[in-house]
Amino acid sequence: MTFKEKMLKYGKINDCPIIDMHAHWYKFYGAALPTTSLEDSLKLFEDSNVKKVIISSHLACESPIFGNQASIDIAKQKPDIFRVMFNINPNHPDVIEKDIANWDKYGDIVVGFKALGDYTKIPFDSGAFDTAFEYANEKGCMFLLHTWGKSPYNDSKNVKYVLDKYPNIKVSAGHSIHGEWETSMHFALDYENYYFDIVAIPDEREVIEKWFSEPKVVDKMFFGTDYPWFSYHYYIGAMLDTGLNEESLRKVFYGNAQRVFEWAR
């Protein structure tokens, strides 16, 4: 059987771990999600051979004062699976300073930051995120940017600001600057520190096939699901149907993350 046939038949392949580089945790009170419990999530992870899940808490968007602690708490329960991104909200600069001050005490549980310009209504290039950007640049760690094309807060212009000013940050563009596909492709080719994930790409047909199938671009692509917003079987299946070969699929599912980040190995 081919790689795709095995995946479709068994739902997973033992030597193909899944690393989810863009996930969430905690309840979201504005929607009914399929599952928010640790027990149910662990079953879903096992079903699809998900070995690492990089999370930021929904609570961090709704209540920044408490939110990042919610991510830490769940990661401490399953440190073999979870890694945490500190959610950054410039409306609460004291919380950013506190999180940075406490970074080292969490060991390898905390691996980066996340910023959501659309949620905070503050552009990445405003200077308001710079305290976190500067620290991440010093660390050389991951910074997941929620991105969306044509947004005044997190479009390609805002992403370029981070790429140009902070070359040591490993920028991961969540949603791949959704809609600005060609720009995202060029960023992947032109910037060593630019990566992107597949979250929300499967909602449009043939985006990966048209814009992101070149080998040098595939090398910059991370698997992500926005879990629990999208399911693993859906996103794994969507990747299998892109026509990418086994080598490329393995890079996306786990290989790229493991190449770039020691904690993902």
- Mean pLDDT over 249-253 rounds to 98
Burial class (CB in 10 A: 0-12, 13-18, 19+), 91: exposed
- Mean pLDDT over 15-20 rounds to 98
Dump pLDDT digits (tens) for 28-56: 767 767 777 899 999 999 999 999 999 99
pTM assigned to the model: 0.96
Greater confidence (175 vs 203) lies with 175
Torsion sign across C-alpha atoms 221, 225, 230, 232: positive
25: confidence class by pLDDT, cuts 50, 70, 90: confident
Greater confidence (216 vs 205) lies with 216
Calculate ∠ Cα 155-206-225, nearest 5°: 60
- pLDDT confidence of residue 33: 75
Q: Domain residues of the chain, as ranges?
A: 17-264
- pLDDT confidence of residue 47: 96
Dump pLDDT digits (tens) for 58-117: 888 778 778 799 899 999 999 999 999 999 999 999 999 999 999 999 989 999 999 999
The answer to whether 169 and 143 are in contact (CB under 8 A) is: yes
Average pLDDT, the chain: 94
The answer to whether 241 and 208 are in contact (CB under 8 A) is: no
2: confidence class by pLDDT, cuts 50, 70, 90: very high
- Mean pLDDT over 131-151 rounds to 98
- pLDDT confidence of residue 147: 98
**Alpha-carbon span 151 to 236, nearest angstrom:** 28
- pLDDT confidence of residue 66: 82
Question: Which range (104-108, 141-145, 192-196, 214-218) has the least confidence?
Answer: 104-108
Query: Is residue 27 predicted with pLDDT exceeding 90?
Result: no
Query: Is residue 138 predicted with pLDDT exceeding 90?
Result: yes
- The encoded tokens of residue 61 equal 């968007």
- Assigned fold of 17-264: TIM Barrel (3.20.20)
The answer to whether 145 and 172 are in contact (CB under 8 A) is: yes
DSSP state letter for 249: H
> Hunting for tokens 């310009």 — which residue is that?
117
The answer to whether 263 and 69 are in contact (CB under 8 A) is: no
Percent with pLDDT over 70 in the chain? 98
- For 247, list phi and psi in degrees, rounded to 5: -60, -45
Query: Is residue 205 predicted with pLDDT exceeding 90?
Result: no
- For 213, list phi and psi in degrees, rounded to 5: -95, -10
255: confidence class by pLDDT, cuts 50, 70, 90: very high
238: left (phi over 0), alpha (psi -120 to 50) or beta: alpha
- pLDDT confidence of residue 64: 77
